[in-house]
Chain A
Amino acid sequence: MSLRRLPALDPLGTLLSAVGVVALVFLPFVVFKANRIVPGEARALLEFLPAWAALSFVLVLALVALVAVGVSNARVRLAFALAGVIAVASAVAAAGNALTPPGNQVIRISPGAGFWLLLIGLGLLATDAVTRMRPGPGMRVLLLVLSVLAAGLAIASGAFDHLSIMREYAVNSDRFAREARRHLLLAFGSLAAAVVVALPLGILCHRIPRIRAGVLGVLNLIQTIPSIALFGILMAPLGALAAAVPWAADLGIRGIGAAPAVVALFLYSLLPVVANTVVGLARVSPAAVDAARGMGLTRGQILAHIELPLALPVILTGIRIVLVQNIGLVTVAALIGGGGFGAFVFQGIGQTAMDLVLLGAIPIVMLAFSSALLLDALVDLMNRAAR
């Protein structure tokens, strides 16, 4: 039998399966630490799973790999990838329960590199399956909501409570809610302020070509200032303002904390929104504007009813860029006392407590990813409506 007669192997599935085998065989699935800051030691599957469970775990993963390599139906691939995710999550939950001595609050059971690699591989497999199904915007949002709900329920059920990251959460639970609110407030607040300023500025740049290069040049320049430096530089004038103007201090404007963070994020947010507004308005066909003018619409009416709605998808793309960028940059604001999830990240880095770092980093990534997905779906929806 020649090689050609074999059914075609799925290249991505083969690659991911190989990665999965490496992760399972050579990398630690969970790591046992005597306390939260010491380096841990690896624990093998059989040390925390009974033989039958370990066997079925490996069997499920082998099945997933077989499907990934040989089956081309996207729905089947998605189903098996999700089954793999459930298996990996259950195994890590079981490890937490089995390896923690009752009542012990000091030792830490951390998911190891093998766990993360398996999870990423399965996630890629699922993402690829979803991409192949070409879901519409509504379906994508539904899938996102369902996976967030599933993950939330799994965490709320307490299955993972013995794992290191959830231990850190238990210690910081009231602070977690506060930093989450702060993170969202900083990211969305500065975005809202930026849109209020950038939209008219973009319209102005579109109407008066002479100022366009200057405005975009200055905004470009602001982008080259590193975020840490901009936060720091703004501390001085805001501190001086608070000292000189009593009501400014009453409003909460101070040299450290949220105020310099909001101002810096606002400044960074201007460029993408202004630039995209200009591009979006420039793309509106002159014929449409002419027709509206012929119908006797005023300039304001043309702007509100013709130009802005037609430019909206491009403007929204700019807003998506800003939102994702802001969610990431708010992290850095924690360095100047701005709060947000970055507080956990930098505190964790300072204490070399990596579980605390992850407690901050994972929500940031999830938040950025979800907002990107939601806004992408919205842009898609508008483009479809426009057609």
Chain B
Amino acid sequence: MSAAIKTQDRLASVKQFNCTNCGAALEVLNPRAREISCQYCGSLLDVTSEEHQILRALVPPKKHPPMSFIRLGQTAVIDGQQHQVIARTRWRMKYKEYWYEEGESGYSDEVWVYDEWLLMNQDFTYFYLVEDREGFHQVEEIIPETPSLLPKDRRMRFYNNQRKQIVREYGQASVIFFEGESNYRIQLGDTIKFAMFQERRIKYQAEWRLDKQGEIKEVEFFKEVPLSRRKVQEAFSSNAEVQTLMQREADWKFVFRVAQFTFIALLLMAMYSMLSDGTPIFSQEVQAATLANDNTQVVGPIEIPEKGLYCLKITALGMPANTEMNVGAYILNQDSVAVNTLVQNFYYYTGTDSDGTWTESDNVVSKVFRLSGGGTYYLQLYLDSQYTNMGTLRIELNKGVWLTRYFIIGLVICLIPLMVSWLKKGSA
């Protein structure tokens, strides 16, 4: 190594100075940087001179906040090497997107926004990370075997072993925001043109820039390989804020899983409770006529083995057409104290109209109730004399029924954490 030229190490190459416009402290990590934007006021400053003169005014970062957890200055470990985020360029694409539906195809006009993060490692080489609403991509320059820009037939391939693919997107992208440091002259509105095709999950892209005369100045080719959010988070996990985020997401994931499991369990139990009548312990039929003239009839004894939930079911059978029957029932304990009641108006109507014969009826009622202890119980029935007394009442009592409404309430409660964690997941 020469005596006059000494390799600077990374720390020695860091330049610090204050923003010429607002006085904020700035740090330049890249020894090749020519321009830096102030993170506070958005001024673009000249790095190469001691005066650090203001070159242009950009948009302050708060107008274009990052899409997720990556921030300027954060560190990331990629392929075992420490990197640092030194720049972010936000691009707005106006492009044509290929569509295919039911044998028809074409291109639609679309707009899309993405961030291009520049990470520098200790060897001063770079890693390009593209982030948009759909996730992350690692961008790498490639040298195609069959380079082309945008063929007339809209079919491209870059390698001889590839099949020609339809151009999925083509159009242009313009810089709408920049933060960090740059080796190039940054100008809002700088535009590139591009054409992209996809093979499996990898996007292949030709990009070209035009000069002021509209001639193509430079062409580059890239491939974009998708990176999972988890993998990117792990790369950035040395940053406290990312760790916190990952922990919070893990917590929400846990809540989501528990709520999901509970929801399924409650749903199954609710379905079972709706389908199950429990175990029959008592059944008897009573002629409604015996209850005429406001008479009551005591049914029983009914032996209740233990405390718990029971279901009383009354079915009106053999009602004449176009009649109603109003039945009431008291559940009496052995001291003849009513512990629960049930009242129901049964009806059976039928007739004919232009659509034919119609029938409307309601002849079954059930009620689930809790009994506080076992013993001998009775059922006292009465009939409202204003209505018919023709027919038979079937009395059934079942043990061990489940209260469907509680499960439904549980399902609704479970929906809240499910929705919240789903929304959190969506926003993440």
Judge: A and B partners, yes or no: no
